Structure 1
Amino acid sequence: MTAELATPRLLPRRLGLNRPKLEVHEGDLARADLILSHATHCDPQSNAALLGDKRLLFSASGRSFLSYAPKGRTWLAFGAPVGQAEEAISLAKRFVAMAQKRGAKPAFYGVGPSFEPIAAALDLQKVKTGERAILDLTTFSLDGKQRQVIRTHRNRHIKNQFSVRIEGPGAVRANLSRLQTISDQWLVHQAGGEKGFGLGRFDVHYVDRLPLATVRAEDGHIVAFACLWPTADKSRIGIDLMRYGEDAPNGVMDYLFAELFLWAKAQNYQAFDLNTSPLAGVEPCSSSPFVTNLAKLMYEHGEKLYNFQGVRRFKNKFHPEWEDVYLAAPKGVSHFVALARATLLINRPL
């Protein structure tokens, strides 16, 4: 396995290719990218700001930002503010005040336990919307019975001369045609198509800003790839796009993940974030709030658009710990409406 992950991150050159309409100026994306490269105590999901499909609200100092998207009369921030910890609460308050001044309903989607101080300071009400799979790399090993299947896939791929290469931002340019082909082949089998808002899509300008992991056959032919979401303080590293081509061998993603876990541990990352399983762990019962029952209904009917159960099963095979993820909003804001509009934003490419 080769690793060429550049630190600090490299800002990409313009590729001159078509891209979805941006909600933010290219220069502000570069500012956000620079903040991400130095931020501490931020979630890997903060890298989704680089999609360009959300607006960016910067702090007065310019050292922090918050990404959000309007949908109807709801303004949805994705995650917590990024940058300086001492600016997080004031930036979140500013976002809420700005939305309310314009007659909109503010909410924060995809926030985890680290958001609690902000929720408390703003008196926000939280509703669980899913769970995030976290693998502790400080104790991770491929040894033991529970890692046997993954270990078997890894050993077989190594025996067949496959390898994983991890390169810094900008690696997409050298392999654009092949990566686009793999992405197109993968999307043929995905009923929901490309996503957005909090989930990445194969937009070259976005992917080119991120570290890229590729699985290669003996002759260098790429059969699968994944885009990584690093954090500057190495508290966590996450994964976004994961795609494989029609010629990829069985078990290729197990092999890729095994190599990523080992590489990330060697790079001194503390945990690997396998990203969120939407609506996982949201169970209805007679005493559940109205929103919880409706969230479960959305889970059941959204299965065709987003393979919730399959995603959950795939992540479970790595035996992660599951961390609750919430939607937080001020009193008087309908959590269900906010959740429904977040779902529309995620599936906006449809």
Structure 2
Amino acid sequence: MTAELATSRLLPRRFGLHKPRLHVHEGDLARADAILLRATYCDPQANAALVGDKRLLFSASGRSFITYAAKGRTWLALGAPVGQAEEALALAQRFISLAHKRRAKPAFYGVGPAFDPIAEALNLTRVKTGERAILDLTHFSLEGKQRQVIRTHRNRHIKNQFSVRIEGPGAVRANLARLQQISDQWLSHQVGGEKGFGLGRFDVHYIDRLPLATVRAADGHIVAFACLWPTADKSRLGVDLMRYGSDAPNGVMDYLFAELFLWAKAQGFQAFDLNTSPLAGVEPCSSSPVVTNLAKLMFEHGEKLYNFQGVRRFKNKFHPEWEDVYLAAPKGVSHFVALARATLLINRPM
């Protein structure tokens, strides 16, 4: 496995490819990218700001940002502020104030425990909307009964001369045609097609900004890939697009993840973020019975919209810890409306 993450993550090279309609100027995406490179307050999900389908609100210093989307009168921030820890609270307050000034309803979608002090300081109410799978890498190994399945898949792929290559941003364009083919093949078997908002999509102008992991046969033929979401402080490494082609061998994603876990640990990352399982673990509660009952119902019966239970099962095989994820909003903002609009943004990319 090779590692080439030193490549600059700033604006990708231009090859005259058609650019999608963005909600932010490309220069602002470059600013956000630079902030991500030195952020002290950040989680892997923040890399989704680089998709370009959301707006950006920068702090006065220009060292932090909030990424958000407007749906109806709802302003949905994706996660917590990103950048410098000492600016997070003031930027969250500014976002809320600006939304109120525009007569919009602000909310923070997909926030975890690290957001709790901000939520308490701003008197935000929280409703659980899912769980995030976190694998502790500090003592991780492939030994033991728990890891037998992925260890078996890894050993078989190595025996069959497959390898994983990890390259820095800018690696996508050299293999664009093949990666696009894999993505199309994978999407043809998925529920609902490409997603948005908190998830990336196959867009060269987005994925070329990220580190890329590919699984290759002995002759260099790519059979699977994943885009990586690093954090500057190496607290966590996340993953976004994970796709394999029709000619990929059985167990290829288990092999890819085994190699990613080992590589991330060797690079000094403390944990691997397998991203959120939406609506997982949500139980009815008295503080917001409508929202939590709807969430539970969608998780159990909403397979035509999103493969909720399949995503949970896949991540569970790696035996992660599950971290609660919330929707947080000021009093007077309907969690039901905010969650419904977040669902629309995710499943109907703009």
TM-score by length of 1: 0.97
Counterpart contact for 2:135–2:271, Cα < 8 Å: yes
Task: Please name the residue that 2:81 is paired with.
Answer: 81
Structure 1: how far apart are the matches of 2:103 and 2:164? 50
Task: Please name the residue that 1:180 is paired with.
Answer: 180
Cα distance, 1:77 vs. partner?
A: 0.3
Correspondence list, 1:177-256, <5 A: 177-256=177-256
Task: Please name the residue that 2:42 is paired with.
Answer: 42
Runs of 4+ displaced beyond 4 Å: 285-288
Q: SS in structure 2 opposite 1:193? A: coil
Q: Is residue 268 of structure 2 the alignment partner of residue 263 of structure 1?
A: no
Q: SS in structure 2 opposite 1:70? A: strand
Task: Please name the residue that 1:61 is paired with.
Answer: 61
List alignment gaps of at least 5 residues for structure 1: none
Alpha-carbon RMSD: 1.4
Structure 2: how far apart are the matches of 1:287 and 1:64? 33
Counterpart contact for 2:300–2:309, Cα < 8 Å: no
Q: Is residue 51 of structure 2 the alignment partner of residue 51 of structure 1?
A: yes
Q: SS in structure 2 opposite 1:209? A: coil
Cα distance, 1:6 vs. partner?
A: 1.6
Structure 1: how far apart are the matches of 2:233 and 2:333? 34
Q: SS in structure 1 opposite 2:116? A: helix
Q: Is residue 6 of structure 2 the alignment partner of residue 6 of structure 1?
A: yes
- Cα 1:187–1:289 change in 2 (3 A) is same
Counterpart contact for 1:14–1:205, Cα < 8 Å: no
Structure 1: how far apart are the matches of 2:152 and 2:269? 25
Counterpart contact for 1:39–1:232, Cα < 8 Å: yes
AA aligned to 1:116 is D
Cα distance, 1:315 vs. partner?
A: 0.5
Deviations 1:158-202 (A, max 9, x none): 000000000000000110000000000000001210011000100
AA aligned to 2:293 is N
Deviations 1:230-264 (A, max 9, x none): 00000000000000000000000000000000000
Correspondence list, 1:265-284, <5 A: 265-284=265-284
- Cα 1:286–1:28 change in 2 (3 A) is closer
Counterpart contact for 1:10–1:170, Cα < 8 Å: no
TM-score by length of 2: 0.97
AA aligned to 1:261 is F
Task: Please name the residue that 1:143 is paired with.
Answer: 143
Q: SS in structure 1 opposite 2:239? A: strand
Counterpart contact for 1:19–1:203, Cα < 8 Å: no
AA aligned to 2:28 is D
List alignment gaps of at least 5 residues for structure 2: none
AA aligned to 1:236 is R
Task: Please name the residue that 1:126 is paired with.
Answer: 126
AA aligned to 2:255 is Y
Counterpart contact for 1:10–1:168, Cα < 8 Å: no
Percent identity between the two aligned chains: 87
Structure 2: how far apart are the matches of 1:2 and 1:223? 17
Structure 1: how far apart are the matches of 2:263 and 2:172? 20
Structure 2: how far apart are the matches of 1:34 and 1:231? 12
Q: Identify the range of structure 1 (305-314 vs 315-324) with the bigger mean alpha-carbon deviation.
A: 305-314
Q: Identify the range of structure 1 (285-294 vs 59-68) with the bigger mean alpha-carbon deviation.
A: 285-294
Q: SS in structure 1 opposite 2:172? A: helix
AA aligned to 1:139 is H
Structure 2: how far apart are the matches of 1:283 and 1:235? 29
Task: Please name the residue that 2:313 is paired with.
Answer: 313
Deviations 1:314-335 (A, max 9, x none): 1000000000000000001100
Counterpart contact for 1:11–1:169, Cα < 8 Å: no
Structure 1: how far apart are the matches of 2:15 and 2:330? 41
Cα distance, 1:41 vs. partner?
A: 3.1
Counterpart contact for 1:8–1:37, Cα < 8 Å: no
Structure 2: how far apart are the matches of 1:15 and 1:162? 31
Structure 2: how far apart are the matches of 1:341 and 1:23? 17
Cα distance, 1:286 vs. partner?
A: 8.0
